[in-house]
A = this chain, B = another copy of it.
Amino acid sequence: MPDPAPFRALLGPAGWREGADAAGFTRDWLDRYGAAPLGVALPRDTGQVAAVMRLCAEQGLAVTPQGGNTGLNGGAVLSAGAQGIILSLARMTRILAIDPVEYTVTVEAGVVLAALHEALGEQGLTLPLHLGSEGSARIGGLIATNAGGSHAMAHGMMEAQVLGLEAVLPDGRVWDGLRALIKDNAGYQLRRLFCGAEGTLGVITRAVLRTRPAPVAQATALLTLPDLAAAVQAGAFLRRRTGEFLSALEFFPELGLALLLRHVPLPRPVETRGPVYLLVELATSIPGMGLEELLEAALADLLEEGSVTDGVVAATGAQRAAIWQLREELPEGQRREGAQIKHDVAVPVGRLPEFVARAGAAAADILPGVRVNPFGHLGDGNVHFNLSPPEGRADFGGLAGALSDAVYDLAVDCGGTFSAEHGLGQSKIALADRLRPGAERDMMRAIRHALDPEGRMNPDKLV
C-alpha cells in the first residue's frame, strides 16, 4: 500500500502536495490526460530528487517527471491505472553559472526557457531555441522532449544544445554527466539518448548547454507565394543566397491567416493574398552586415523570376514583431474557431508539397469540406497539419480518428515521421506501435527495459 508519509517527512509542506493542493500538476495542458497521483513531489535539489526516487523504488511507485507541464501529448502526467507520483522540477530553477568565455550555461532542470533567455541576454548570449511555450516550458522538459521550434533548421533541436547532463536514475543513483564538452566520445552518447526519452530513463536534474553570441541585427520578411512548391524552391534559393544568416523559414496558408484575422484583429502586412506565406528571418551577431540589403536583393530576384508574388521586409522592430505575431498566434486563431485536430509531423523538405496535397485530398475524401491549415517550419519539413471542421459545423462528426490516421500514414509514406517535435507522450503511443518499424520498436523496448527493468519510469509513454 503506497504511503505518502515518508514523502511528507522528506520534503515538508513546500515540497509535497496531495489532493486539491496538487491541482495544476496532475492534468495536462490541454486537460485531456492525468490520473490522480499519490502526490506531487517538488524537490529543491538533486539530493532530494535522489531521495524521492529511492522512496519510490522502495514502494514500487511509478514516477512521472514534469517540467512546465506544457506538453501537448500527456507525457508529463500520470497515465490511467498507474500508481505513482509526479516529480516536478518547478522548484529547481537556479541558473548555476553563465560562462561567456566557454559560451556555456549550467542550469537546474526547472529553469523556465524565457528566464534563461533573459539572463543570457544580459551577458550578450543566446540559446537558439524559440517556441510558443517558452514562458512556461522548463529546460528539463525541453530536453526530455527534444524540443524543436522555429530555429532548429539553423541550430538543431534541443539535443544540439546539450553538452552535459546530470540525471537521477530509477534506483536513485545520480549519474554525473555534467561535463561542459562538445567532444566527449567515451562510449555511448548517453547525453543524446536522454534527449527525447520523455522521462523514461531517469530524471534530468541539471544540464550544461551551449550558448552563442546574441544577435545584434535581424532582417525579417513576409512573402506571398503561388504554392508550397514555390515556397520550397524559394527556401533553397534563400539558403544559397543568405547562407550563415538564415535563421528561420516559417510557412502558413491563407486559411490559417484568415482564421487568425477573423478572431484576432491584426493588420495584414502584405497586400497580395496567399495561397502560401513564407516568413524569412536573417540574424547575425556581427554589427554592420547589411542584412536588410542582403534580404531585399534576394527577394528582388525571387520577385523578378515570379516564384514570389509579393513581399515586405520589416522596416522597424514593431513591423518585425507584427510579422512574427501572425505566425505565433496562428494556432490561437484556429483554436478560437472551434473544434480542431492537431498533427505534428515532418517529411523531407522536398516532399512537403506532395505530402500537403495528398493529405489534404485524403482528408477531403473522408470529410468533404474539412478545412486544412498546414503550417510550420519550412526549413526542416516539420508541418503542423491541423484541421478544422467544414465551415459552419461544430465538430468532425466522429471522423477525427480516421482523419488523423490518414495524415499520419501519409507522413510516413512520404518518408517522414508521425512525431516531429512534440514527442509521443500518451496520445501517440498506440500510433507509434502501429507505424514504427518493428526493429525500431524492439530496440526501444530493449533499451527501456535495460535501464528501467521495473518499468516504473513514466509508464505508458514513449514505447
Contact = CB atoms under 8 A, between A and B. Distances in A.
Contact of A443 (B100, B182, B349, B451): B451
Nearest to A200: B188
Interface of A: 99-104, 124, 145-146, 148, 152-153, 156-157, 159-160, 169, 173-177, 179-190, 192-193, 195-197, 213, 232-233, 236, 239-245, 284-286, 289, 294, 346-350, 377, 379-382, 415-424, 428, 432, 436-440, 443-444, 446-451, 462-463
Given A174-B439, A189-B193, 9 more contacts: A101-B233, A102-B349, A180-B415, A182-B380, A190-B440, A192-B195, A289-B289, A447-B447, A450-B450
A306 B189 CA distance: 41
A416 B181 contact: yes
9 contacts: A102-B348, A179-B417, A182-B380, A183-B382, A187-B440, A188-B462, A189-B195, A192-B192, A243-B285
B196 A189 contact: yes
A417 B186 contact: yes
Contacts of A381: 102, 181-183
A350 B102 contact: yes
A212 to B, nearest CB: 8
A383 to B, nearest CB: 10
A286 B245 contact: yes
Contact of A181 (B192, B240, B294, B348): B348
Nearest to A423: B185
Contacts of A186: 417-419, 424, 428, 432, 436
- Copies of this chain assembled into the complex: 2
Give the 8 A-B CB pairs with smallest separation, nearest first: A450-B450, A192-B192, A243-B285, A182-B380, A244-B244, A446-B450, A180-B348, A186-B419
A463 B346 contact: no
Given A153-B182, A444-B187, A175 B102 contact: no
Contact of A232 (B101, B169, B195, B447): B101
**Chain B CB within 10 A, most for which of A232, A417, A443, A448:** A443
B243 A173 contact: no
**Chain B CB within 10 A, most for which of A157, A160, A182, A347:** A182
A439 B175 contact: yes
A182 B423 CA distance: 14
A185 B286 contact: no
